[in-house]
């Protein structure tokens, strides 16, 4: 039987209990017998439960008092079974722990064999559903109720309060600009929005007419709200090799769906549940995009949510290209204008001019030469098609 021996101001050492005719003796590592005059502690599997038992033990010893212990015979105090009962009153520690494990925390129909993850998370799932039902209307936008999202929501509201207070207490140009942005976000002006949509369509048609792909790529990158999805994504960031200098970066875009596997159709090694889930996500995403087209362009707009999904899948495939052998494993490739166009098909000179540079930067940093080469070839052949227009 494994126990622990506590000695004042020393570390706890593992020892073995051996029963003899008179009671219990402790054999230390040096094979010398010592009397068990110190405390035995039961160590539970859960830290919180263990702390609770320690507090109970302390309280029990307080209640008993030193006088009562002194009145007992030396043999009782040192060796008797009563000593164990004092530190573990009524054996309640083991009983409570056994009861804790016996207590069901999921319905009998949910077993480890039938649904393991629901079985072990049942209480958490139940509490989450309850919180979701009881949540106020302002909290209904949560996709999941947890401490992070609740705290993030508080930060959002505090930020709104700071903005509103700044607008009220300041009358300068900055306050006016902040007020314009804030008002536009909380009060959608349909007339203004339709003008922006019309302007975007006109810019696309203008680039098509002039056969100027790089002008259109630069135009998308001017808008911070949508530039994350541009096939050629441009950013200005601190150089990771010299943080004091900001450089031009050409990087991979982000895809709309959170998991790249949702764009694929492979079934190898996939569960039936995942395959069905993936089909459902794809279907709902395409329907969502179609709703956006109708809302922005009206009916008979001629665009397709399916095309948007297919283009994003093409972009994902381009991310997996591996034709360039000297691509940096650290995602840090210094590329000059001439090399950019001749090797990878990317016209950095024209692109940077449309961004607004009066003088073409001597180089840019690219995180993936393989992607740059593949996406430029893909754009050159397809950017004017109906599929890519969507």
> How many whole angstroms from its chain centre is CA 152?
13
Domain boundaries, the chain: 2-102, 116-184, 190-389
Confidence band (pLDDT; 50, 70, 90) for 121? Answer: confident
Question: What's the CA gap between 378 and 376, in Å, rounded?
Answer: 5
Structure tokens at 374: 């593949």
- The larger pLDDT score, comparing residue 259 to residue 144, is at 259
In this model, does residue 351 exceed pLDDT 90? yes
The pLDDT > 90 percentage for the chain reads 49
Q: Report the pLDDT value the prediction gives residue 152, as an integer from 0 to 100.
A: 85
Question: What's the CA gap between 126 and 329, in Å, rounded?
Answer: 45
* pLDDT, average across residues 212-229: 94
Q: Convert the pLDDT of each residue in 64-101 to its tens digit.
A: 665 555 555 554 554 444 544 554 555 566 777 666 66
- The larger pLDDT score, comparing residue 342 to residue 103, is at 342
- The larger pLDDT score, comparing residue 23 to residue 239, is at 239
Predicted TM-score of the model (pTM): 0.60
- The larger pLDDT score, comparing residue 67 to residue 118, is at 118
- The larger pLDDT score, comparing residue 110 to residue 274, is at 274
How is domain 190-389 classified at the architecture level of CATH?
Orthogonal Bundle (1.10)
In this model, does residue 354 exceed pLDDT 80? yes
Phi and psi at residue 21, to the nearest 5°: -65, -35
Contact of 160 with 178, CB cutoff 8 Å? no
Distances (CA, A) of 123 to 48, 119, 130, 195, 364: 18, 9, 11, 51, 53
Q: Which of 123-127, 281-285, 367-371, 375-379 bottoms out in mean pLDDT, i.e. has the lowest?
A: 123-127
Nearest to 36 by CA among 7, 60, 12: 7
In this model, does residue 43 exceed pLDDT 60? no
* pLDDT, average across residues 214-228: 94
> How many whole angstroms from its chain centre is CA 332?
25
Q: Report the pLDDT value the prediction gives residue 39, as an integer from 0 to 100.
A: 41
Q: Count Cβ neighbours within 10 Å for each residue of 286-324 and write b for 16 or more, e otherwise.
A: beebbeebeebeeeeeebbbebbbbbbbbbbebeebeeb
In this model, does residue 149 exceed pLDDT 60? yes
């Amino acid at each position: 039987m494994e126990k622990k021996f506590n000695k004042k101001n020393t570390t706890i050492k593992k020892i073995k209990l051996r029963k003899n005719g008179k009671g219990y003796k402790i054999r230390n590592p040096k094979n010398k017998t010592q009397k068990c005059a110190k405390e035995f502690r039961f160590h539970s599997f859960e830290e919180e439960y263990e702390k609770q038992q320690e507090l109970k033990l302390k309280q029990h010893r307080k209640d008993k008092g030193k006088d009562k212990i002194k009145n007992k015979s030396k043999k009782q105090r040192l060796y008797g079974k009563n000593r164990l009962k004092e530190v573990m009153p009524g054996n309640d520690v083991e009983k409570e722990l056994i009861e804790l494990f016996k207590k069901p925390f999921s319905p009998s129909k949910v077993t480890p064999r039938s649904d393991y993850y629901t079985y072990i998370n049942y209480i958490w799932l139940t509490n989450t559903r309850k919180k979701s039902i009881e949540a106020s209307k302002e909290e209904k936008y949560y996709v999941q109720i947890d401490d992070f999202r609740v705290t993030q929501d508080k930060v959002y509201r505090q930020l709104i309060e700071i903005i509103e207070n700044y607008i009220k207490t300041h009358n300068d140009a900055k306050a006016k600009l902040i007020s314009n942005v804030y008002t536009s976000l909380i009060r959608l002006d349909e007339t203004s929005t339709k003008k922006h949509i019309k302007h975007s369509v006109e810019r696309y048609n203008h680039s098509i007419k002039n056969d100027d792909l790089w002008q259109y790529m630069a135009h998308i990158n001017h808008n911070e709200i949508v530039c994350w999805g541009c096939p050629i994504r441009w950013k200005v960031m601190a150089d990771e090799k010299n943080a004091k200098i900001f450089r031009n970066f050409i990087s991979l875009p982000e895809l709309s769906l959170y998991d790249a596997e949702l764009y694929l159709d492979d079934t190898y090694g996939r569960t039936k549940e995942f395959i069905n889930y993936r089909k459902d996500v794809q279907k709902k995403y395409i329907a969502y995009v179609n709703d956006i087209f109708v809302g922005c362009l009206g009916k008979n707009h001629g665009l397709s949510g399916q095309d948007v999904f297919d283009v994003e899948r093409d972009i994902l495939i381009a991310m997996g290209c591996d034709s360039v052998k000297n691509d940096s494993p650290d995602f840090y490739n210094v590329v000059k204008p001439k090399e950019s166009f001749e090797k990878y098909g990317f016209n950095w000179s024209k692109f940077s001019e449309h961004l607004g540079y009066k003088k073409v930067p001597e180089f840019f940093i690219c995180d993936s030469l393989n992607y740059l080469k593949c996406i430029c070839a893909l754009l050159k052949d397809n950017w004017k098609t109906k599929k890519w227009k969507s």
